Every structure is written in C-alpha cells, then in structure tokens.
C-alpha cells in the first residue's frame, strides 16, 4: 500500500518538474553545449564554420589581454565581494539597533539596489566628470588636495576602482537585507549569556553575531562571486575600458575582429573555473 | 562568594513601575528564592542584579562593590537562563568553559573544572555534541554546567526548570539543592513554582506587583504568612479562607462557633476592634475526625457534605462547602470518605490563622511555628 503511494508520488513529482527541466534544458543546457561545440570552430559571421581543434584555446592562452582581463576580474571580484559583505554587515548591525525613524532608514538603504542601472550609471559618470563633476570640484577646488583634475573613469586603472565602488554601492543592500533578516532572529538571551560570561560588545559580536551569521555570510559571498564573475552591464555601461572577463569576451565575440569561436573558448574556461570554485566552496565553506 | 545587597531598588518602564522600593540582603552562601505570579517583578529584579536591566533608582551591591554602573561582563556573576541560551555553534565542552576561559583561568584549572562539572552533571558522554543534538534535560544540565564552572561571586537562576517535564524537574531541583550546599554558593533563584521556592530556598521572597510581600524561611512563610496573598499563593492546595463574625469570644460562621481564645496567639482585645475576620485553615491541617485522637485544642466541623474526592495515592483531596465557600481538605489514605457522605473534620486550633478583612488581609495572630 504505502509503496504504491510512494511510487505514485514519485511519478507525480516527475511530471511536476518536467516542464521546468525542459525549459532549463532549452535555455541553459543547450546553449552551454552549443558553446562548447563552437569553441572548437572558427566561426564566420555568415555562419560558416571550420573545425580548428584546440586552436581557439591555444590562441587564447597565448593572448596577454586574456591574462590582463583575468587580473582585472580577480581585483574586481575581491574588491566587490569584500566591500559589499563588509558594508552590508555594518549597515545591518547599525539598522538592528533601536533608534527613531529606523524603519524609514531601513527602507532608504535599499534604494541603490532598486534604482535602474542605466540612470545611476549616468549619475556616477557625472560625479567623476573631469570638467563639471562634483568629485573634481571637491578634491581640487574645495579641499585643494591636488592641482590637476583627474579623469578617473577615462583612465582604465582608476576606472577599475570606480567600478568596484559603484558595484559596492549598488549591491550592498542585498547583503544588508539578508544579514538583517538573520540578525533579527538571533535570540537576545545569547547576547545576555555572553555578557554574563564576561564578553564586552566586541566579544559578543565575535562569539555570537558572527557565528550566527556564518551561513548567511557564506551564502552572500557565494552569490556575489557568481553574480560578479559574470557581471557585464554595470561595468560596460559605467566604464567600458575596464576589461573584466565578460567585457573581454564581449569584445572578442562582437567587436573589432569578430572571433566567436575564441569567445566561446573563454566562456568554456570561465564556466569550468566557476563550477570548480562553487563546488569547492559549497563543500568546504557551506558544508552542504 | 559574596553577599548581595539591594537597597531601595526601583525599576520602571516610562511611567509604569515594575519593582517598587525593594530591599533585600542575600547573605554570603545563602540561597534566596524570589517567587510570585507572572509580572510581579521577580525576573526584572534578577536581571537588575545581572546588569541586563538598568536600575531606575536605588543601589545594588555585590560584596563590597557597588555595581549599579558596571556592565554585566564586569560583575563576575553566573546565570542560568530559562531557555538555556547555549551557544549553538559551540560543543558542550566549549559552552561550559567559555566563561571560564574569558575570566583568564589557566589550562589546568579549566581542565579540572570541566572534569568536575561534567561528572557532577553527568555530561561526560555529551561533551563533543552540539546543543542542537541534546534533549531538553541535557541542555538544561549544560546551562547549569556553564554557570557552575565559573568562579562567580553570585549565581543567578531565571526559572531554569520551567521547560522540563515534571519528573526531570523534580530530579534537577534536588541536584541544584545538593550542588548549592556543596559549593556554598550565593544564589538568587527566580520561579513562579511555589514548590521550588519552598524546597530550595534558605529564604523565600514572595513578591506581588513589584512589592515584596514577605521574606522568610519556607516554614515561616508556610505557617505565618503575613497576609492573605502570601497565605493563598504558598501551599497547595491553597489555604481556605472563611469570613467569620465576631460574637463575644467566638468566631461565628455557618453553624460553627470557634472559641477565639483557643486559637494560638490571639489577643482578644485586639480582636474586639474588628466586626469580622478571615479564618485561614490550610487543607493539610484538616483531619478526618473519625481518625483524630481527641485533644483539648481540636475543633470539630461536623456535618460536612463531601462534594468530590480526588485520590492522589497517599493523600486524597476532598472538596466541600464551608462558610459559603468552596473549601478543600487533604486527608491521608487511612480515611475512607466517599462522595456525598456526611463527615466531621477536625482542625488543631493552634494551626488556625486569622486575617483582617482589609484589602491587604493582614495576619492578626502570630500563629504557632
């Protein structure tokens, strides 16, 4: 009796997930497989393909621009992941205190996350505009920190840090939101017990807050790594001269000398690295 | 160990007073139990000693130290919480030694204390487990262990047994009593359970609405409650109270005339200023007249109709009407009364208490201790 029920239930389950599996297969698995396939061909814009074996990969691994973009991506990833996590944590702890207008402040913090990328990008470009921007006005004319006006976004080296700052500002609210939700569920008596056990505010943060937040922090870091390794629009719109991996891939595939086979090879490597990273992370840090 | 002194302590939230002018001295090595109904301010008082609530007015002193302005982590206290508040990411071992480590004890002391505590509380087999893998009783023992491992000046207990089942509660109650005596701990223990209060306390503090109603040994409070609140709150079943009119030297209700002169420590002149008094008789002090040996001081309530008999094994509780009120008596197993029977109940007049009919219902006679 019960085994029949179990079987029926399993069959129903399969039927229920089938549409989702179909859609994922069509929209995710098929492009991935096709991408792997493409990476072994020299692809022309008219669609004609010539099999080139591993040539795309060897070309890529001999291309200094590729290594440069890996370096940029690593800096971008570390800066944004650390930045959003730390800022999100600080904001969530602050917003977990009692004060007047707390609910208003809690809501306002989310604004950067809601704002459309394209509009805030223009705002940021204007802030750092070398002639009219408020940044140069404050640094040069008001504070007299330096004599020369800098084009921070025009210079790829400094633009990388503007892009990192922008991403932190735009995306820390999601980290903040997840941390705050968890903070509100930490039992108050744990803090009281830690205080009784001789821990001051710092000790209570270290021994109660951080361990309680551990899995949320790990999840936020994981999500941020996945999102930002593939992040395109924020970087491209704000400073197209910052060549992170997705931007480099885009230039390979669609700009100048179009090399779609080469671009496919980049994304195959990126996919493998990402899958490997996530696997390690999930096993070692999240311990699922 | 240290004494704890609370002097004119007040606590209010905004305009709402929670604890009103509380004075209490807990002596070095003494076990004091704060007991009272929910909202009486007992937990708040404990939390003020711990430093988890600030003191609106008054002083608290541990040993020679005034601690009003000290944060909890500088007070050198240990506390057992109602919900245990174990650190979920730490093993039982780490939980127990956490406070000890912070206090700067050396490795040898920590090892020794851990061994002592885990043996005493039978936690040896669980030291590597996380709190989530323990039963409620085991968690409670870990919470106890964490407090006991500390070399604190005073140990605070905030209803530590209220989440346990009856059997385990009884067991842990005895354990706490044993450990407290063994270590000669200064302890303040909050409970709403009057049995815990009676069995654990060297002294019991009965509180109501932020006010201390009575402080005394358990037997003082049982035999000489200062007012009707304490009289009915402590003791189970609660003390029976009957309103009686004073007629000469007799207290009259229903068809009964109790000679006031035979009640212990009654000043007849004093009684003359009242028209009516409340007669308080504990259910435990009734006896089945068929079984009581005749005595000079025995008063007999005859023609009592038994409404209900509840057999508890050795004891049985019977319910009946007296003075127009529902009354209870606790008889032992020798009595064979049945429902609807008419019986006589005797009471030793030395055990009868009189209260005035003011709202406070203050005790009039001193009672026999």
Please determine, for residue B342, whether its predicted confidence score (pLDDT) is greater than 90.
Answer: yes
Please determine, for residue B43, whether its predicted confidence score (pLDDT) is greater than 70.
Answer: yes
The CATH T-level fold of domain B4-225 is Rossmann fold (3.40.50)
B73 to A197: CB separation less than 8 angstroms, yes or no:
yes
In a domain, A23, yes or no: no
Number of domains in chain A: 1
pLDDT at A149: 83
List CB contacts (< 8 A) between B102 and chain A: 197-199, 203
Please determine, for residue A223, whether its predicted confidence score (pLDDT) is greater than 70.
Answer: yes
Please determine, for residue B8, whether its predicted confidence score (pLDDT) is greater than 70.
Answer: yes
pLDDT at B367: 56
Mean pLDDT of A205-220: 93
Question: What are B160-184's pLDDT values in tens digits?
Answer: 998 888 888 898 899 899 888 888 8
CB proximity B50 to A under 8 Å: yes
> How far off is chain B from A284, nearest CA to CA, in Å?
17
pLDDT at A226: 87
B312 by Cβ neighbours in 10 Å (0-12 / 13-18 / 19+) ranks as exposed
In angstroms, the CA A187 to CA A209 distance is: 10
Among B13, B52, B159, which would you mutate to test the A interface (most chain A Cβ atoms within 10 Å of its Cβ)? B52
Residues, chain B, total?
369
Please determine, for residue B308, whether its predicted confidence score (pLDDT) is greater than 90.
Answer: yes
| Beta carbon pairs, A and B, within 8 Å | 60
In angstroms, the CA A81 to CA A79 distance is: 6
List CB contacts (< 8 A) between A196 and chain B: 50, 52, 72-73, 77-79, 99
pLDDT at A4: 87
Question: What are B188-228's pLDDT values in tens digits?
Answer: 999 999 899 999 999 999 999 999 999 999 999 999 999 99
B99 to A196: CB separation less than 8 angstroms, yes or no:
yes
Mean pLDDT of B54-60: 94
Nearest CA in chain A to B50: A196
Ranges B157-161, B230-234, B251-255: which has the least confidence: B251-255
> How far off is chain B from A217, nearest CA to CA, in Å?
15
Among A182, A189, A197, A210, which would you mutate to test the B interface (most chain B Cβ atoms within 10 Å of its Cβ)? A197
In a domain, A117, yes or no: yes
pLDDT above 70 covers a percentage of chain B that reads 99
Please determine, for residue B332, whether its predicted confidence score (pLDDT) is greater than 70.
Answer: yes
Domain boundaries, chain B: 4-225, 233-355
Residue range of the domain that includes A118: 57-286
pLDDT at B307: 95
Ranges A89-103, A247-261, B129-143: which has the least confidence: A247-261
Please determine, for residue B267, whether its predicted confidence score (pLDDT) is greater than 80.
Answer: no
Give the residue with greater pLDDT, B293 vs A84. Answer: A84
In a domain, A237, yes or no: yes
pLDDT at B79: 95
Nearest CA in chain B to A215: B89
In a domain, A1, yes or no: no
Report the complex ipTM: 0.85
pLDDT at B264: 80
Instruction: Please report the beta strands in chain A, taking only residues with DSSP state E, as ranges in sequence order.
Output: 41-43, 49-51
> How far off is chain A from B86, nearest CA to CA, in Å?
7
Q: Which of A142, A165, A132 minimizes the C-alpha distance to A238?
A: A165
In this prediction, residue B76 has a pLDDT band, given cuts at 50, 70 and 90, of very high
pLDDT at B368: 55
Mean pLDDT of A113-120: 92
In a domain, A98, yes or no: yes
The CATH T-level fold of domain B233-355 is OB fold (Dihydrolipoamide Acetyltransferase, E2P) (2.40.50)
CB proximity B347 to A under 8 Å: no
Mean pLDDT of A92-100: 92
In a domain, A44, yes or no: no
Among A182, A198, A200, A209, which would you mutate to test the B interface (most chain B Cβ atoms within 10 Å of its Cβ)? A198
Q: Which of B186, B129, B133 minimizes the C-alpha distance to B157?
A: B186
In a domain, A253, yes or no: yes
pLDDT above 70 covers a percentage of chain A that reads 99
> How far off is chain B from A86, nearest CA to CA, in Å?
22
When CB atoms are compared, the residue of A190, A198, A211 closest to B99 is: A198
List CB contacts (< 8 A) between A194 and chain B: 87
In angstroms, the CA B22 to CA B187 distance is: 18
List CB contacts (< 8 A) between A211 and chain B: 87-89
What does the block give as tokens for A230? 């593939």
Question: What are A24-39's pLDDT values in tens digits?
Answer: 999 999 999 999 999 9
Nearest CA in chain A to B94: A207
In a domain, A21, yes or no: no
DSSP symbol at A61: H
Nearest CA in chain A to B53: A192
> How far off is chain B from A202, nearest CA to CA, in Å?
12
CB proximity B98 to A under 8 Å: yes
Q: Roughly how many angstroms between the first and final C-alpha of chain B, as a whole number?
A: 32
> How far off is chain B from A225, nearest CA to CA, in Å?
26
Please determine, for residue A14, whether its predicted confidence score (pLDDT) is greater than 60.
Answer: yes
A196 to B102: CB separation less than 8 angstroms, yes or no:
no
> How far off is chain B from A203, nearest CA to CA, in Å?
10
Please determine, for residue B357, whether its predicted confidence score (pLDDT) is greater than 60.
Answer: yes
Question: What are B248-257's pLDDT values in tens digits?
Answer: 888 998 889 9
Mean pLDDT of B84-108: 93
Q: Distances in Å between the alpha carbon of A179 and those of B63, B98, B244?
A: 42, 26, 66
pLDDT above 90 covers a percentage of chain A that reads 59
Contact B49, B79 (CB under 8 A): no
CA angle, residues B25, B27, B32, in degrees to nearest 5: 75
Q: How far is CA B201 from the centre of its chain?
A: 7
Nearest CA in chain A to B148: A197
């Amino acid at each position: 009796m019960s085994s029949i029920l179990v079987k029926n239930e399993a069959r129903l389950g399969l039927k229920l997930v089938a549409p989702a599996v179909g859609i994922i297969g069509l929209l995710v698995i098929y492009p991935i497989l096709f991408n792997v396939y493409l990476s072994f061909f020299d692809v022309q814009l008219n669609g004609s393909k010539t099999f080139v074996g591993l040539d795309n990969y060897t070309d890529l691994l001999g291309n200094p621009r590729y290594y440069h973009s890996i370096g940029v991506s690593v800096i971008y990833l570390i800066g944004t992941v650390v930045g959003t996590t730390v800022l999100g944590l600080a904001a969530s702890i602050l917003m977990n205190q009692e004060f007047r207008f707390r609910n208003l402040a809690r809501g306002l913090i989310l604004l950067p996350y809601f704002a459309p990328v394209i509009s805030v990008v223009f705002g940021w470009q204007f802030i750092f505009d070398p002639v009219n921007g408020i940044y140069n006005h404050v640094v040069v004319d008001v504070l007299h920190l330096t004599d020369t006006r800098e084009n921070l976004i025009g210079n790829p080296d400094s633009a990388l840090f503007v892009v990192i700052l922008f991403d932190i500002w735009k995306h820390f609210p999601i980290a903040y939101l997840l941390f705050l939700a968890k903070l509100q569920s930490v039992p108050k008596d744990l803090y009281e017990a830690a205080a009784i056990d001789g821990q001051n505010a710092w000790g209570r943060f270290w021994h109660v807050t951080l361990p309680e937040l551990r899995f949320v922090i790990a999840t936020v870091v994981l999500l941020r790594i996945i999102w930002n390794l593939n992040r395109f629009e924020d970087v491209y719109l704000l400073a197209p001269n910052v060549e992170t991996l997705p931007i480099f891939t885009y230039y390979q595939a669609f700009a100048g000398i179009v090399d779609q086979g080469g671009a496919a090879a980049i994304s195959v490597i990126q996919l493998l690295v990402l899958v490997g990273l996530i696997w390690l992370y999930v096993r070692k840090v999240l311990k699922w | 160990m240290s004494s704890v002194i609370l002097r004119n302590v007040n606590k209010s939230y905004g305009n709402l007073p929670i604890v009103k002018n509380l004075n209490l001295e807990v002596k070095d090595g003494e076990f004091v139990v704060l007991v009272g109904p929910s909202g009486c301010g007992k937990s708040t008082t404990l939390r003020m000693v711990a430093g988890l609530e600030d003191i609106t007015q008054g002083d608290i002193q541990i040993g020679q130290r005034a601690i009003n302005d000290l944060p909890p982590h500088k007070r050198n206290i240990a506390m057992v919480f109602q919900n245990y508040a174990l650190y979920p990411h730490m093993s039982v071992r780490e939980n127990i030694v956490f406070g000890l480590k912070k206090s700067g004890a050396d490795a040898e002391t920590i090892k020794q204390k851990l061994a002592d505590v885990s043996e005493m509380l039978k936690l040896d087999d669980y030291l590597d487990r996380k709190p989530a893998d323990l039963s409620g009783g085991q968690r409670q023992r870990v919470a106890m262990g964490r407090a006991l491992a500390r070399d604190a000046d005073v140990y605070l207990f905030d209803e530590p047994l209220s989440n346990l089942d009856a059997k385990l509660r009884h067991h842990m109650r005895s354990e706490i009593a044993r450990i407290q005596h063994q270590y000669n701990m200064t302890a303040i223990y909050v409970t709403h359970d009057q049995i815990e209060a009676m069995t654990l306390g060297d002294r019991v503090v009965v509180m109501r609405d932020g006010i201390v109603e009575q402080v005394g040994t358990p037997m003082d409070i049982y035999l000489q409650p200062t007012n009707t609140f304490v009289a009915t709150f402590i003791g189970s079943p609660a003390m029976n109270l009957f309103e009686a009119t004073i007629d000469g030297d007799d207290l009259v209700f229903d068809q009964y005339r109790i000679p006031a002169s035979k009640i212990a420590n009654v000043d007849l002149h004093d009684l003359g200023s009242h028209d009516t008094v409340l007669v308080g008789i504990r259910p435990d002090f009734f006896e089945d007249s068929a079984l009581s040996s005749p005595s000079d001081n025995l008063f007999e309530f005859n023609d009592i109709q038994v409404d209900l008999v509840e057999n508890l094994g050795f004891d049985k509780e019977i319910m009946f009407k007296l003075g127009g009120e529902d009354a209870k008596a606790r008889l032992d197993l020798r009595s064979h009364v049945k429902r609807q029977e008419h019986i006589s109940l005797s009471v030793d007049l030395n055990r009868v208490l009189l209260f005035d009919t003011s709202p406070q219902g203050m005790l009039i006679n001193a009672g026999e201790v």
